[in-house]
Amino acid sequence: MAICDIESVSGNEIQLADAIEATLEKFDHLSVVRDGNAVVASTNQAKDRVIIAGHIDTVPVAANLPTQLHHFEREQVIVGRGTVDMKAGVAVMLKLATELSTPAVDVTWIFYDNEEVDSSLNGLGRLSRNRPELLSGMFAVLCEPTSAMVEGGCNGTMRVEVRAKGKKAHSARPWMGSNAIHALLPALNTLNEYEPATVNVDGLDYRESLNAVTASAGIATNVIPDLATIMVNYRFAPDKSASEAEALLRQWFDGFEVEVMDVAEGARPGLNTEVAQSFIAATKTSVHPKYGWTDVARFSALGIPAVNYGPGDPSLAHADNENVPVGHIHDCYQGLKGWLSS
Amino acid sequence: MAICDIESVSGNEIQLADAIEATLEKFDHLSVVRDGNAVVASTNQAKDRVIIAGHIDTVPVAANLPTQLHHFEREQVIVGRGTVDMKAGVAVMLKLATELSTPAVDVTWIFYDNEEVDSSLNGLGRLSRNRPELLSGMFAVLCEPTSAMVEGGCNGTMRVEVRAKGKKAHSARPWMGSNAIHALLPALNTLNEYEPATVNVDGLDYRESLNAVTASAGIATNVIPDLATIMVNYRFAPDKSASEAEALLRQWFDGFEVEVMDVAEGARPGLNTEVAQSFIAATKTSVHPKYGWTDVARFSALGIPAVNYGPGDPSLAHADNENVPVGHIHDCYQGLKGWLSS
């Protein structure tokens, strides 16, 4: 609750970063490095190394701070901005970083900034450019909310603009032109006929999807439009590369102009390694695929298998009624502690 | 050319209105009334009455004033803003108004403002509210450009928003929602399957059309949209009322939310009256339907059959290279003079 009550909307993390740095610096078993508003604390026992990471920023506050502790019949719940995404995870990390002076593996604890804003500002991305030596390890855990279950890897995502062309004309004489909106028909047919694939990758089922997210066309209400555009988002399983995803989109929207607007590669769950298996065994929970894109893909791109594991229901992230069961926090604390102590 | 060279972009007609009023007031056979920047001059012989009308405003100048007279091998052409739409027509009206002191029928000559802007500002509309007694007659001629042919009546036009509804969801989990853009498919099918009707009204063939003119959807690129909207323009033959057109649109887009955004009734050509037949005979030209909406529909709504007849190719109206053959001006002058003198 104290961590949540230090407001840290993206770009305004300095106070919380200072508090985290000051806390960690008191412990001799940790080397602490500060980079902007990211704080990295490492144990140094010359053992195999894992990374445990979490972002310290939140989306804007919606009159939901300071936090409140609600007592229900069966559980306690902390309500407020950041409780789910992801300061409950940060709390677990911070407690374990200070308590585990001689973990079974070396641990690099990464607290980073600017995850909720444009990808170019992401603190983990900045660390990988400024201090690449800090991002080494054989496995990474990102404490994003997963309801205290393990979510492995993530789907990739690609957005393309699909454009239909026509010929302008006055709408009183449309037969002099050609209507670009009407020409979108085959694209809408493709979207409606698309059957979502479910792809098994390293034992987890990834559900794909293909959706138009925006549409725009028209110059004026008395002109037949010569251009109609839909933005299509393809979420693809991590067995596919971005270029394979693009090839599929170009095939599906053959006959249209297709331009890639943004892309993020997926991440394979990486659960077939020994360290991943020991992590799953220690947490004693089920393993699920992650559909949304998270920073595990950054670790994956660095060749580090990574999973999500943290307190809180991810569907409550960013919600005005964001809240986390205290039980989730204890579960994740115990799960990580068991793994790192064994 | 002098009329064109008095710049009179909509809202700035005062100088030209003053010049027209001063010119007409010199003639004893005319009673002149001024209303805003509209000037109405009437003969008063206690005969049957016709109305001959034209607007004196233009769209903005595009470095195409002052006018230039170009001499080609076979014809002279006046180039410049307003030459086609519709100061060549105004010139014909002005010359005939002053010359014909005892026309075969009484004539109300209407020179009006603000035709090229929002319909609520239209000078003819204002006259019909302020001075309804001035808008009476058994037939009206609007000297809008028709390449000196007679264009009868006009299509009606209705714009409706056709809205598909869905359910918002994060685009990583689209199966939690329902995509409104995808739901537009039946509307696009309707638009593509529509077969333009050609409807014969009072002997003229009116070509109808149904077109999407704008499309919009989407809140953010990671959200499945819950609303997708297309604006559809239906141009309908003057055998149909606006409410009949609306009923057809609601039938075609059954299953969608349909809201009428704007509408203008069509105008029947009204060529079956004796006075119309005498007009057509006198102008010795062919009669065509008008596809675009013009102020003849205002006369039609007042129960006065009306046609378009004026110099200039209407497809050059508003163009930067707007220009009128001098021959058209003479043809219309002779045509109207013959009719009003017989």
Cβ distance of B231 and A217 shorter than 8 Å: no
Query: Mind giving me the DSSP string for B119-155?
Result: GGG-HHHHHHHH-GGGS--S-EEE---STTSEEESB-
| Residue A42 distance to chain B (closest CA, Å) | 34
For A175-202, how does the pLDDT look when each residue is reduced to its tens digit (9 = 90+)? 889 999 999 999 999 999 999 999 999 8
AA letter at B122: N
Q: Are B209 and B232 in contact (CB under 8 A)?
A: no
Mean pLDDT of A144-161: 93
Instruction: Note the pLDDT of residue A318.
Output: 87
Mean pLDDT of A247-251: 98
Instruction: Note the pLDDT of residue B217.
Output: 97
Chain B CB contacts of A213 below 8 Å: 171, 181, 218, 220-225
Name the one residue in this structure whose structure tokens are 């902390």: A78
Chain B residue with minimum CA distance to A185: B188
Mutate to test the interface with B, among A188, A190, A191 (most CBs of B within 10 A): A188
CB contact burial A278-317 (16+ within 10 A = b; e otherwise): ebbebbebebbbbbbbbbbbbbbeeebbbbbbbbbbbebb
What are the φ and ψ backbone dihedral angles of A194, each rounded to 5 degrees?
A: -60, 130
Strand partners for B236? B156
Interface of A with B (CB under 8 A): 155, 157, 159, 170-175, 179, 181-182, 184-185, 188-189, 191-192, 196, 207, 209, 211-218, 220-225, 228, 230-231, 233, 235, 261, 291-293
Strand partners for A34? A39
Instruction: Note the pLDDT of residue B249.
Output: 98
Band of residue A270 on the pLDDT scale cut at 50, 70, 90: confident
Instruction: Note the pLDDT of residue B149.
Output: 94
Distance set, CA A146 to CA A59, A272, A291, A313, B147 (Å): 18, 20, 11, 6, 73
Q: Is the dihedral of CA A276, A282, A286, A292 positive or negative?
A: negative
Q: Is B254 a catalytic residue?
A: no
For A93-145, how does the pLDDT look when each residue is reduced to its tens digit (9 = 90+)? 999 999 999 999 999 999 999 998 888 899 999 999 999 999 999 999 999 99
The catalytic position among B21, B57, B144, B151 is B57
Instruction: Note the pLDDT of residue A222.
Output: 83
Mean pLDDT of A65-76: 91
CA neighbor of B162 nearest in space, from B46, B253, B54: B253
Burial degree of A193 (CB within 10 A; 0-12, 13-18, 19+): exposed
Find the largest Cα–Cα distance for chain B.
81
Chain A CB contacts of B213 below 8 Å: 171, 181, 218, 220-225
Mean pLDDT of A28-46: 97
Query: What residues contact residue B105 under an 8 Å CB cut-off, 6+ apart?
Result: B47, B48, B49, B50, B275, B340
Instruction: Note the pLDDT of residue B318.
Output: 86
Strand partners for B205? B200
Run of H or E residues at B210:
strand B209-217
Q: Are B90 and B111 in contact (CB under 8 A)?
A: yes
Poorest-pLDDT segment among A109-123, A149-163, A281-295, B128-142: A281-295
Work out the mean pLDDT of chain A and round it to a whole number.
94
Instruction: Note the pLDDT of residue B219.
Output: 80
Whole-number Å distance between alpha carbons of A10 and A17: 12
Query: Mind giving me the DSSP string for A264-299?
Result: E--B---TTSHHHHHHHHHHT--EEE--S--THHHH
The CA-based dihedral angle spanning residues A126, A127, A132, A137, taken in that order and rounded to the nearest 10 degrees? -130
Q: What is the DSSP letter of A135?
A: S
Chain B CB contacts of A233 below 8 Å: 171, 221-222
Q: Are A38 and A17 in contact (CB under 8 A)?
A: yes
Q: Are B66 and B5 in contact (CB under 8 A)?
A: yes
Strand partners for A236? A156
Mutate to test the interface with A, among B221, B256, B318 (most CBs of A within 10 A): B221
Cβ distance of B291 and A172 shorter than 8 Å: yes
ipTM metric: 0.74
Whole-number Å distance between alpha carbons of A70 and A85: 18
Peptide bond preceding B86: is omega within 30 degrees of 0, i.e. cis?
Answer: yes
Interface A–B counts its CB contacts (< 8 A) at 144
Poorest-pLDDT segment among A38-42, A243-247, A266-270, B224-228: A266-270
Cβ distance of B228 and A215 shorter than 8 Å: yes
pLDDT in tens, chain B (342 residues): 999 999 999 999 999 999 999 999 999 999 999 999 999 999 999 999 999 999 999 999 989 999 999 998 778 999 999 999 999 999 999 999 999 999 999 999 999 999 988 888 999 999 999 999 999 999 999 999 999 999 988 899 999 999 999 998 888 889 889 999 999 999 999 999 999 999 999 888 999 999 999 999 998 888 899 999 999 999 999 999 999 999 999 999 999 999 999 998 898 888 888 898 999 999 988 888 887 788 998 998 888 988 999 999 988 988 889 999 999 999 999 999 999 998
What are the structure tokens assigned to A247, written together?
Answer: 């090839």
Query: What residues contact residue B193 under an 8 Å CB cut-off, 6+ apart?
Result: none
For residue A169, pLDDT beyond 90: no
Q: Is B57 a catalytic residue?
A: yes
Instruction: Note the pLDDT of residue A269.
Output: 84
Chain A CB contacts of B211 below 8 Å: 171, 174, 179, 181-182, 224
User: How big is the CA angle at A314 (ends A310 and A317), to the nearest 5 degrees?
Assistant: 110
Instruction: Note the pLDDT of residue A220.
Output: 83
